Amino acid sequence: MSDIGGERIAFLALARNCAPYLSRLFALLDAVTAQGFSITCHVGENGSVDGSRELIVTRAAVDPRVALVSTEAMEKISNRLSRMATGRDILREAWGATTDGSGYVCVVDVDDVLPADPTRIDLAGAIAALAADDRLAGISACSRPFYYDLLALRARGIFNYDISPSLRFGRRDPLFHYLVHARMIYPAQREITGLLPLATEASFNGMGLYRAADYAAAAYCRLPVIDECEHVDFSRQLCANGRRHILAGQWFDLDMPAEHGPQGVVGFVRQRLSKALAR
């Protein structure tokens, strides 16, 4: 870890049905605090059936750094892209009501991307990089064994394609759905993993760090219709002057969710069927 501390970091996380992973988030908060950072954490929750809300409430009762934020408005939105953008903005606004705009914001996905070992997340190094280079609009994560988040990725000349329409269409036909992954997504994931770190127009991959002033000035629901991953337009707002970029693949070493990485047709079908039956 880099030797820097004392900065303010606000963590923002959506945590619906994330009970198995909340302990990893809380361990990360403790590890970052131990490095000398001053932190807060707004955790959004709605409709969990696995005890997530109770775990957040219990932690918040003994930890003044942690605040539960209701994201019930998400439940009324059927479109996933709009739903996620709405949840991110609810958290952004809750944080905005409690800050003077100084420091940094760290947006975290609380699921199986978070490693059990918090030392794989070097916030000190990322903050030092942002402080040293005003061309950096933000820093996003890498993941093992492959970079997985192509929905949020836009990298000129490398990957600048919205895969969400293909994924939506593919869900109607299991074979086509697998072919989309095998012929387009998996090769791109392997290629991008080998190119990291990478300057991007947009990226997230489970974690992103931003200057608080920049984060407060942007919005996930800025457009009337949300038809891309919520991180795409948000990143573009941060990079709007044309000189800036989001740096992907350095300082945040996360785990690739197994369902999102390269796999054979049997494992792919088994995983999708298991997920469908669990709903």
Q: What's residue 275's pLDDT?
A: 63
CB of 156 closer than 8 Å to CB of 236? no
Give the Å distances, CA to CA, from 191 to 28, 198, 250: 30, 12, 16
pLDDT per residue as tens digits for the range 35-78: 999 999 999 999 999 999 999 999 999 999 999 999 999 999 99
Distance CA 13, CA 52 (A): 12
Reported as a pLDDT band with limits 50, 70 and 90, residue 277 is low
Q: What is the mean pLDDT of the chain?
A: 92
Report the pLDDT averaged over residues 228-244. 91
Q: What's residue 8's pLDDT?
A: 96
pLDDT per residue as tens digits for the range 169-222: 666 777 888 888 999 999 999 999 999 999 999 999 999 999 999 999 999 999
Q: What's residue 160's pLDDT?
A: 93
Q: What's residue 3's pLDDT?
A: 43
Distance CA 213, CA 137 (A): 11
User: Coil, helix or strand for 231?
Assistant: helix
Q: What's residue 166's pLDDT?
A: 81
* Cα 63–chain centre separation: 23
Give the Å distances, CA to CA, from 179 to 102, 245, 268: 46, 32, 11
Q: Domains in the chain and their CATH numbers?
A: 8-278 (3.90.550.10)
CB of 186 closer than 8 Å to CB of 273? no
